[in-house]
Amino acid sequence: MADSKKTPHIQHEKHILIIFSWTLILLVSDLPDILWNEFIGQVPEWLGWGKVGLLGAFFGLCLIWKVVRPLWQFACVFLVFYSADAVSTWIGDTFWWQSRFGGSQVSFTVGYVGVYLRDLGVALAVIAVLWIVKRRRSEFFLTKGKLDAPIEQVRWLGIRKGESWRTFGWIFAIIASLGVLIPIALAAHLSPAALLRVAPLLPSVLLFAAINAFNEEIYCRASLLSTLPEVIGRTNALLITVVFFGLEHYLYGSPPGVIGFLMTGFLAWFLGKSMLETKGMFWAWFIHFLPDVVIFASYAISWVQK
C-alpha cells in the first residue's frame, strides 16, 4: 500500500525536475541571445552575467528545496561554466588582450590562439568542477570509452542490431565531414594560388579543430550527460543536449540560422548517443573533429583571400 501511494508522488517530483531542467537550460542557452538579436538588433552586454545570476539563484534553490535538490550537480557545473565563460568574455574585451590577439593585423594563428586560450580555460574550469562533484573522470566521460561498444539500433539511419561503434563511428565521421565540405566547396572559389597560401596554416587548422571539438564536448555534452540522465531520464537529458547545442550554433554556426540549428542539433543527438553507449568521449570528439577541420580550413581560406 505504501509503494502504491509513493509512486504518483515520485512521478510528480520527476515531472517538476524535468520542467525545471528544461526551463533553466532554455533561459541560459543562446535562446535569449537569439530573441534579443531578432527583435532588438543586438545582444546586451549584461546578458551573460544575468545568466550567471540566474544559475546562482537556482543553485541556492537546490540547497534549500528538497524537490529540486537532485539537480544541484547540474546547477553547480553550469554555474561554473557560465561564470568562467563570462570572465573569458571580459578578458577577451580588455585592451591588453586585444592588443596581443585582436585586430586585423594579427595572423590567423595568433588570432585563434587568443580565442582558444580563453575557451580552453572555460573547458578546464568545467572539468575541474565535474571532477569535484563526480569524483572519477569516467563518471563524466573524460576517457576514450569502449571504442567497439555495440550501437543501439536506429532503423531510419540504417543502423541495424549488432552494429559496432568502431565501424559506424568512422562512417558517420566521414558523412558529417562531407555534409560540411560539399556546401563550403560549392560556395568557395578556390584558386591554386589560394590553396598554396593556405597550406602552411594546416597545422593550425588541425590544432584549433581538435581543441574546439574537445571543449564543446566537455561543456556542451559531458556536463549535461553526466549530471542529468539519473535525475530526469536519458531521453530528456539527450534532447536537452540537442536543443542546447543547436541553439548555440543558431547565430554563429557554419551555417547559421534554422539550417545550422537542425544540423548541429542532429549532430548533438548522435554525439550524445555515442557518449552514453561507449561510456567515453573518443567517438564524440572524433566525429566532431573532422567536420571542424573542414570549417577551420574554410576560415583559413577566407583569411588568406582577404
Non-local CB neighbours of 47 within 8 Å, separated by 6+ positions: 32, 33, 36
Rounded CA-CA distance 157/209 in Å is 26
* DSSP codes joined into one string, 48-113: HHHHHHHHHHHHHHHHH-GGGGGGHHHHHHHHHHHHHHHHHHHHHHSHHHHHHH-STTS-HHHHHH
Q: 189 near 304, Cβ under 8 Å?
A: no
Number of domains, the chain: 1
Rounded CA-CA distance 29/283 in Å is 25
- Per-residue pLDDT of 37-82, as tens digits, reads 888 888 898 999 999 999 999 999 999 999 999 999 999 999 999 9
Query: Domain of 66?
Result: 2-304
Rounded CA-CA distance 32/13 in Å is 27
Q: Which amino acid is at 109?
A: T
Rounded CA-CA distance 25/23 in Å is 6
| Averaged pLDDT, 16-31 | 96
The backbone torsions φ and ψ at residue 159, rounded to the nearest 5 degrees and listed phi first, read -90, 110
The backbone torsions φ and ψ at residue 9, rounded to the nearest 5 degrees and listed phi first, read -65, -45
Residue 190, Cβ neighbours under 10 Å: how many?
Answer: 11
- CA 123 to chain CA centroid, Å, is 10
| Averaged pLDDT, 120-149 | 96
Q: 265 near 246, Cβ under 8 Å?
A: yes
Please give the pLDDT value at position 6: 53
Residue 3 pLDDT level (bands cut at 50, 70, 90): very low
- Per-residue pLDDT of 166-224, as tens digits, reads 999 999 999 999 988 888 777 777 667 777 888 899 999 999 999 999 999 999 999 99
Mean pLDDT, the chain, rounded, equals: 91
Share of the chain above pLDDT 90, in %: 74
Give the residues across from 159 on adjacent strands. Answer: 154
Q: What's the CA angle centered on 285, arms 142 and 204, to 5 degrees?
A: 115
- Per-residue pLDDT of 94-105, as tens digits, reads 999 999 998 878
3-state secondary structure at position 159: strand
3-state secondary structure at position 154: strand
Q: 76 near 60, Cβ under 8 Å?
A: no
CA atoms within 13 A on the CB side of 67: 13
